Amino acid sequence: MDERYSRQVLFPGIGKEGQAKICNKHVLIIGAGALGSGNAEILTRAGVGKITVVDRDYVEASNLQRQQLYTEADVAERLPKAAAAERRLREINSDVEVRSIIGDATPEILEELIQDVDVMIDATDNFETRMAMNDVSQKYNVPWIYGACVGSYGMSFSIIPGRTPCLNCLLRTIPLQGMTCDTGGIISPIVQMVIAHQTSETLKMLVEDWDAVRTSFVSFDLWRNQYTSLKMSKAKYAGCLSCGEERTYPYLYHENRTKTTVLCGRDTVQIRPSISGEISLEKLAGQLSTLGYSVKGNPYLISVELGEERMVIFQDGRALIHGTKDLTHAKAVYQRIMG
């Protein structure tokens, strides 16, 4: 065992004492896609004592370009990502306790899992889950690391309760929502760049080197050779309902989640987002048209053909998914297109 982690122990920032801490810590990873699989593999190789992975999706051929834990055999079996990840991680390091959960990372699940977690890693694909992670982090005093990427652009921020602004604070300062991999595509190197930031910050937290933890918001575009680091200390908002002086943890409650409803007498699901705000229909229509979708619209809405289904999107972010009554499926379609 000493030989296995010998190169990591030689690094002054970790050493024998740090490695011992790593081997006794628990990391919770929400999402087992590109970021989740990469984070999970690196931390498993690093010897983290326990890793829990939560994901609701299964492996598809389009995942193989950037999701490093999976193979063509996983696609053929249509294995859930969490299950495929667990199997592969156990093969990599049998000393690490790996637990997979196949399903949505709901606030109830997050509050149940967070009890013995040391660090959470954001590898999800939607802001509803991120906001729930943010509130759970603040409520239970567990740090987490935000990460996202699309196209050749990525970003990351370490959130430490009581020390840094939370994600809810950041949304007042930095526009974080935008394209998804389904609407803007993605190249594998940007995934690796975000993973590098997330895993390095995780290791700092696991060895409890808090002075080394980066407190700036970083973003980078590998195709355009851009790298930005923004100090965020002034972004902390005293009135924030997630981390402020009178916090209520709003995203842990049902009334603040995405609303899905089957319309009476119609093969249609209506979805109302948890975070309100107008969107640019013209910009979204342009992005989707570029990707080959058939898009029609007017000043009030756009209609997008999605194979046997059709999605109508309104300026307030509300959408109708025609061609299904499955709430879970409709929500997944919405998040794939809207982020």
User: Which token pair is 246?
Assistant: 């009178």
- Residue 264, pLDDT score: 60
- Residue 106, pLDDT score: 87
Would you say the CATH fold of 258-338 matches that of 6-252? Answer: no
- Residue 276, pLDDT score: 62
- Residue 224, pLDDT score: 96
Residue matched to tokens 């609407």: 183
Superfamily of 258-338 according to CATH: TATA-Binding Protein (3.30.310.10)
- Residue 116, pLDDT score: 95
Looking at 129-133, 224-228, 253-257, which range is the least confident one? 253-257
Q: What number of other Cβ atoms are within 10 A of residue 75's Cβ?
A: 17
Q: What number of other Cβ atoms are within 10 A of residue 21's Cβ?
A: 18
DSSP label at residue 263: P
Mean pLDDT, the chain, as a whole number?
90
pLDDT at 170 over 70: yes
User: Which residues are catalytically annotated?
Assistant: 181
Phi and psi of 84, rounded to 5°?
Answer: -65, -40
pLDDT at 86 over 70: yes
Q: Average pLDDT, stretch 70-93? A: 93
Looking at 14-28, 95-109, 201-215, 305-319, which range is the least confident one? 305-319
pLDDT at 179 over 80: no
254-266 burial code (b ≥16 CB/10 A, e <16): eebbbebebeeee
pLDDT at 208 over 80: yes
pLDDT at 175 over 70: no
Q: Average pLDDT, stretch 103-118? A: 92
Q: Lay out the sheet containing 26-30: strands in order across.
A: 97-102, 50-55, 26-30, 119-122, 144-150, 153-159, 216-221, 226-231
Domain ranges of the chain: 6-252, 258-338
Residue bearing the bigger pLDDT, 135 or 329: 135
**Could you read off the pLDDT of 21-65 as tens digits, one per residue?**
999 999 999 999 999 999 999 999 999 999 999 997 888 898 999
How far apart CA 158 and CA 127 sit, in angstroms, is 16
- What fold is seen in the domain 6-252? Rossmann fold (3.40.50)
User: Which token pair is 39?
Assistant: 């984070």
How far apart CA 209 and CA 20 sit, in angstroms, is 14
- Residue 291, pLDDT score: 82
- Residue 33, pLDDT score: 94
Q: What number of other Cβ atoms are within 10 A of residue 339's Cβ?
A: 19
pLDDT at 196 over 60: yes
Q: Lay out the sheet containing 301-306: strands in order across.
A: 259-262, 268-272, 319-322, 309-314, 301-306, 295-298
How far apart CA 33 and CA 60 sit, in angstroms, is 10
Q: Average pLDDT, stretch 270-285? A: 80
